[in-house]
Chains A and B, each alone.
Chain A
């Protein structure tokens, strides 16, 4: 390395030719052709009280929709999916099916190869957006108005179901585009092109839903005013902040929140224009860690290490996702925690300490140190509820583990306020659970508004 430059991190755009980047960000699981879909659909046993349906957080009648694929009744199949899960299109792309429906598929017991439910779901739903097929209609006007904060999966799901039930909805979102993390977070190769926007638009097109972009709860509107102005409020605000590592030297240049970088990546028209480091260390063990690592690799980073403080079994990312990262050229190191960011002006590396479980099962450091050189360190150690809430009304919202505490039908501690998705406690931070929360809350709100 030339003298004098040794301290400058190696970060630059266009590490790979444009066409290679384009390939790298193509569809991760290309859609099934008709004959592939028919063959796959034929593998489904049409189970009774199907375990896959039980495993689906939104309870899609999976044998029912697959049966309709078999009979070329694609529209009916899509309706079966979307009536339980209005984001059935996105979920077909992003659900970790290997730990949800496909894990429960009885075919695993028979031949260790589940029916590819996710891909069949995509096959059935793709035409809905491509051909803009209307499957649902707004119910007769109830005269009631509901405020939904957040146009992510939870908020859009809630808004759509409320509209079907006849209520009018105003959706507030701080971003300029709807979709939440569908638009700003999910890995690019899981949802290619403008699918997130097309899906959001299709959902909003039911009517009765007014979307107010660029409007922030806590700045442009307050929870108190929403409670005053609307008959009910649903909070689907996701997690706006990220956890810090809480170690020395964390604020120097080159330590980046993974979700921020991912949002830029998702919004970049020309992905090659994004600056990418040569050596990257990702700290964390969830889906965000996997996504930032793999996407960095696909942008041309040379060496990408994920470092996680516990073992593979404790990672938030499924075994399938871990394998996916590894075959994408990412190294996953377990049982090490960061103790210090190295570098003066810029990141040069991270110092780690080996970890282990003590006799009580508590994670402890062993004292054994090591360093990994890096040009950029990504923080991917979880997100936090945003700081927009602590205003007067919000102060009375009951919390649990730093998230909103809700009842089974997603009521918060404030009468007339519901919440769902990542911002509530007890969920597992998936698109599909956010959609289910929104749906459950909408029915609860409906009962409330009808005085039942």
Chain B
């Protein structure tokens, strides 16, 4: 039996697996981090530290969730601030944990005001604990951003560069800059971090959000004494946003060299594969650990290990970035490529979902009856290959998209060509090359 090696090295920091706990409540104190390491987590980024006196949190609801009907948490939101415990307590605990768990990665997240003297004072104190590195929280989108920190820094590349430079100046260990997704383009912040001397970026932090309204009181929900404030959104729902940002950094020439720690919605091993294949070198997890507990690490490690075996990869690093080359701009997609939906009649349970969605929202390409019988079948002459039916069919693999490799596409009446042709050369493009 071949067993892939899950051990990971990120910026020279070693951990038995690439799964770190993100800086958040699960890493808020020694008690939790101990339990996490006992459960098998590879590393942890300590809950963000700040200046003394510590901030205070609200004494009411910090969290809101979007559930499926079985009450699975799909999206999660919080208005928690950084650590609310005195700095010394945290530093002492970090020192003990690092001593007790030398094989695990232990980093410390920190958020400080835009003042070099403050960085000079705190960075050495943090490194003195023996922690493996520092993560700069330029991402927290609520509360701290109102005080000019967190996302307020992360949204201005010049501030990122400046603060990173200060940290770099006083730090000997690796420095990771944690990016906020609350920007229109993640590349300038990533570049600024790199230019400021960061060794890596981690992303994403949480997304500005309001969960919903309370239907009885018609106030936002949740509230503190009747008033609420936007919080940070995370959990499975944000993964696609995070993946896009990770992939952008990984595929862009100006940022591709920056090592990435991927964060956002990771719940099972497949989510980790997504991040790794799109360019992250390791991953961090918060919400899944918060809603299921540390024991999910078993599926994360076993699942990833089996996956690597199946792919004949001996280590995680072989997977990193594998899918990056497949991400491009729309204009380069092959417009000569044709797919059609195909329904496997043996698997079809006749729910009719594919028919109604294609009928109402796509191209009227699926029958509902054939010869008076309930029957769902793709009409190739109408199918544009959009994948909507595949997305809604409740039966796994019942509808598949099949490539047309030859003959005439009955929809367009044009012969299927094996030659690639994209928008840049398309006759309908007024700005096509050579026009």
Binding site for B on A (CB under 8 A): 35, 38-39, 41-42, 45-51, 70, 106-107, 109-110
Contact = CB atoms under 8 A, between A and B. Distances in A.
A110 B394 CA distance: 9
A105 to B, nearest CB: 9
A47 B395 contact: no
A110 B346 CA distance: 11
B353 A45 contact: yes
A346 B169 CA distance: 108
14 contacts: A39-B69, A39-B70, A42-B68, A45-B351, A47-B351, A47-B352, A48-B355, A49-B352, A49-B368, A49-B374, A51-B350, A51-B374, A106-B350, A110-B395
Given A39-B69, A41-B69, A42-B69, A109 B350 contact: yes
B350 A45 contact: no
A107 B349 CA distance: 8
B355 to A, nearest CB: 6
A254 to B, nearest CB: 52
A45 B394 contact: yes
Nearest to A108: B349
Given A38-B69, A47-B351, A106-B350, 19 more contacts: A35-B71, A38-B70, A39-B70, A42-B68, A45-B353, A46-B353, A47-B350, A47-B352, A48-B352, A48-B356, A49-B352, A49-B368, A49-B374, A50-B352, A51-B350, A70-B69, A106-B349, A106-B351, A110-B394
Contacts of A45: 351, 353, 394
Nearest to A48: B352
A57 B361 CA distance: 31
B282 to A, nearest CB: 35
Nearest to B394: A45
A107 B353 CA distance: 13
B375 to A, nearest CB: 12
A106 B376 CA distance: 14
Contacts of B352: 47-50
Interface string B51-79: 00000000000000000111100000000
Contacts of B349: 106-107, 109-110
Contacts of A49: 352, 368, 374
A48 B395 contact: no
Contacts of B68: 42
B69 A47 contact: no
B374 A47 contact: no
Interface in B201-215: none
Contacts of A41: 69
B435 to A, nearest CB: 45
Nearest to A70: B69
Contacts of B355: 48
Contacts of B351: 45, 47-48, 106
Contacts of A51: 350, 374
Interface string B155-188: 0000000000000000000000000000000000
Nearest to A35: B71
Contacts of A106: 349-351
Interface string B380-409: 000000000000001100000000000000
Interface string B84-118: 00000000000000000000000000000000000
A38 B68 CA distance: 10
B365 to A, nearest CB: 14
B202 to A, nearest CB: 35
A389 to B, nearest CB: 40
In the complex, the 7 A-B pairs of residues with the closest C-beta atoms, listed nearest first: A48-B352, A42-B69, A48-B356, A109-B349, A47-B351, A106-B349, A38-B69
Contact of A48 (B70, B71, B368, B394): B368
Contacts of B368: 48-49
Contacts of A39: 69-70
Contacts of A46: 353
A47 B374 CA distance: 12
A45 B69 CA distance: 13
Given A110-B394, A110-B395, A47 B70 contact: no
B49 to A, nearest CB: 40
Contacts of A109: 349-350
Nearest to B376: A48
